[in-house]
Amino acid sequence: MKLNPTQTLLAMLAAAVILAFGPLVLPPFYVRVGQLMVYSAGLAVAWAILGGFAGYASFGNAAFIGVGAFAAGLVEGNISGIAPPLLLLVGLVVGGACCGVLSAAISYPILRLRGTFFAIAMLGVSHVCAEVTNNIDFFQGSLGLNFPSVVPGDIDPANYFYWLYLAGGLAVLLIAWQIRRSRFGAGLLSIREDEDTARMLGVPTERYKRLAFVISAVLTGMLGVIYGHSLGYITTESVYRDDTNLSLIVYSMLGGMGTLFGPVIGAFALVFITQVLLARLLDFHLFATGLLLVILVLAAPGGVLGVTRSFSLRRRPSPVAAE
């Protein structure tokens, strides 16, 4: 059954309300798992704005997590005397703005690449940002950077960051949903299907790609700010992580590449597998992620939503049989 826009919006809000009760009924361990689920889902949807909708799969979105977190941490450390909500807001604005400036600066040369070349170039951007942060003393990447607390005194920190991740993830999902149903979103889908034909038909492909790239980077950077606060202390290695780059792709492929809710399904499923089912096999996580990626490419390239759609179509009676 296909939902209309109003029903889709109400379904997203209802799901968010239900998830918001998680910290009130779940044990502390599962609250932590829930944090990682909603954080990963938000990152995956932000990645999908460019990687899923436009077909420009990035291997380097961890660059924006790191840039957002370090930019916010450096600024907040100098103004830590203000109220926690305002301090967090300043961090979000600074982190998102820095990611927006960086993505806008590199968008013209890097978006001239396609496919594997774009993916590897973004991985290079992530590594360059990590090296700069780690080797220039101003950024404190090698020593580590402390974040001032933004948690109100009467709230459990684990619960607070769960709700903060949930609010951030919902905001990213609503933005992606609005993009998907707009003319801009239709243009991104046409780029994914055939960029050259879309350009000949009058779609401003370069402008749409750059805009999607910047939006994706800003949203990723703002989630990185929340991530930095939840850790309390970050180093280069804790935010510029290659396993995060790989996981964002797997989330979309597991749930359904190019769909709105596929990355959310994939993130929830993979985090549950690695953090709960494989909790005792910490060294096995990266191997399991890579193995799952290979299986998906070979057996279910459409992901969970693709398999579900194919199954429903097979069960639907054909017009000839119905007659």
The 10s digit of each residue's pLDDT in 129-176 is 999 999 998 998 888 899 988 988 788 999 999 999 999 999 999 999
Pair of tokens at residue 310: 């194919």
What is the CATH classification number for the domain harbouring 179? 1.10.3470
Confidence of residue 320 (pLDDT cuts 50, 70, 90): very low
Look at residue 230 and tell me if it is in a domain.
yes
Residue 156 β-bridge partners: none
Task: Count CB atoms within 10 A of the CB of residue 196.
Answer: 9
Look at residue 323 and tell me if it is in a domain.
no
Residue 234 β-bridge partners: 145
Q: How far apart are CA 61 and CA 141, in angstroms?
A: 18
Helix (H) or strand (E) holding 233: strand 233-234
Q: What is the pLDDT at residue 118?
A: 94
Look at residue 39 and tell me if it is in a domain.
yes
Indicate if the pLDDT at residue 310 is higher than 70.
Answer: no
The 10s digit of each residue's pLDDT in 240-263 is 998 899 889 888 888 888 888 989
Look at residue 86 and tell me if it is in a domain.
yes
Indicate if the pLDDT at residue 306 is higher than 90.
Answer: no
Pair of tokens at residue 288: 């399991």
Confidence of residue 101 (pLDDT cuts 50, 70, 90): very high
Look at residue 166 and tell me if it is in a domain.
yes
Look at residue 322 and tell me if it is in a domain.
no
Secondary structure (3-state) at 146: strand
- DSSP letter string, 181-219: TSHHHHHHHHHHHHHHHHHHTT--HHHHHHHHHHHHHHH
Spatial contact of 172 and 42, defined as CB atoms under 8 Å apart: yes
Look at residue 77 and tell me if it is in a domain.
yes
Terminal alpha carbon distance of the chain: 23
Pair of tokens at residue 144: 């580590």
Look at residue 150 and tell me if it is in a domain.
yes
- Quote the mean pLDDT of the chain: 88
Q: What is the domain range of residue 38?
A: 5-317
> Among the ranges 25-39, 244-258, 283-297, which has the highest mean pLDDT value?
25-39
Handedness of CA 13, 256, 251, 282 (dihedral sign): positive
Spatial contact of 213 and 50, defined as CB atoms under 8 Å apart: yes
Number of domains in the chain: 1
